[in-house]
Amino acid sequence: MTEQQWETLLAVIRGERVAPLPVGMIIDSPWLPNWAGMSIMDYFSSEPMWLEANLKAIRQFPDIMFLPGFWSEFGMCTEPSAFGSRCRWSENEFPWADKVITDIRQVATLEKPDPAIHGLPPLVLKRLQHTQEAIRRAGHEIRFAVARGPMNIASFLMDSTEFMTAIMTDPDDVLALLELTTDFLIDWIGLQIDAFPSIDGLLVLDDLIGFIGEEDFKRFALPYLKRIYGAFDVRVKFLHNDAAGLITAKYLPEIGVNVFNFSHKHSLAEIRQLTNNQVTMFGNIPPRDILARGTPGQVRQSVRATRAAVGDTSRLILSAGGGMPSGVTIENIQAFLDGR
């Protein structure tokens, strides 16, 4: 992010009205490589191609805040790889992390990885270190530490279905696993912050928290998210959950989150009410059916309708109700900007 974009983000979080209404997007490997004219494998394996894809985005759309900005990642494989997950790679498909636990009782045998030496996290940091000067020459800084959330990682280590089942059948083992993934995440986020003093924001992505009821959320999600967000003195605390988010939303002030990216199925008014207008909303245009598959006219209409429905545009950054999906065109992104 540029200094001006960063100051705009902080102003929105403080509740100040900003004109024109800010637009932000989460961009990463599902959209960016193919849009930039390269395969997903090339994007992951080549630092120059990764850098060029990100530079192309900021040059094409200087009026959009791309969060976290220059996201160094290996899809869902980054954190599970540190636990020993075997990663599957294809030329032009999203990578996948194989499970490492075939029986919930194996949780007791897992050791906490060191993100400085295990799996892909060290390569994430090296990519940023190698490209930091080029990022700065483009007028941007590395502003965010980024990580998948504790339940998200646990679901890859076990398999999502087995993890959700274990919440009901073996809750103590699930809690032990979440303690482990949370401890690892605090180490991993801290390592990123130590490596880049410009970091003053945290983005955690966890959709699994949207698949459980309120009592389970309070037991299996809330304490761990509070620990993670409470561990770091950064000014921007951003959470992405584009699954069901109404339960999550009401606990965001308690967790310490001040920016929330959520499902387009929830209205801005609902989220504002549930958070008592204490949290900046980051959304809320349907990503697939409108942003990716709609016409430019439909995109403009959706943006205008969303803005009109909320009335008060404080603590609002217009975005997709989730990350940028594959296939979104330059024309539709420009229509999004025009619609605000």
**N-term to C-term CA, the chain:** 20
> Tokens 């003053």 belong to which residue?
200
Question: Would you give per-residue pLDDT tens digits along the chain (340 residues)?
Answer: 999 999 999 999 999 999 999 999 999 999 999 999 999 999 999 999 999 999 999 999 999 999 999 999 999 999 999 999 999 999 999 999 999 999 999 999 999 999 999 999 999 999 999 999 999 999 999 999 999 999 999 999 999 999 999 999 999 999 999 999 999 999 999 999 999 999 999 999 999 999 999 999 999 999 999 999 999 999 999 999 999 999 999 999 999 999 999 999 999 999 999 999 999 999 999 999 999 999 999 999 999 999 999 989 999 999 999 999 999 999 999 999 999 9
Q: Three-state SS for 178?
A: helix
- Count of alpha carbons within 13 angstroms of residue 212, beta-carbon side: 25
* Percentage of residues in the chain having pLDDT higher than 90: 99
Q: Looking at the chain, how many residues does it have?
A: 340
- Could you count the other beta carbons within 10 Å of the beta carbon of residue 263? 20
96-97 and 87-88: which strand pairing? Answer: antiparallel
> Tokens 């398999």 belong to which residue?
159
What is the per-residue pLDDT across 102-153, written as a single tens digit (0 to 9) for each? 999 999 999 999 999 999 999 999 999 999 999 999 999 999 999 999 999 9
* C-alpha separations of 71 from 32, 67, 94, 196 in Å: 11, 8, 15, 13
Distance of CA 336 to the CA centre of its chain: 20
Alpha-carbon torsion (284, 287, 289, 291), positive or negative: positive
Burial 266-288 (b: 16+ CB within 10 A, else e): bebeebbebbeeebbbbbbbbbb
Measure the CA–CA gap between 267 and 289, rounded to whole angstroms. 16
Q: Which domains does the chain have, with CATH numbers?
A: 3-339 (3.20.20.210)
Measure the CA–CA gap between 249 and 270, rounded to whole angstroms. 9
Which residues make beta-bridge pairs with 240?
A: 205, 261
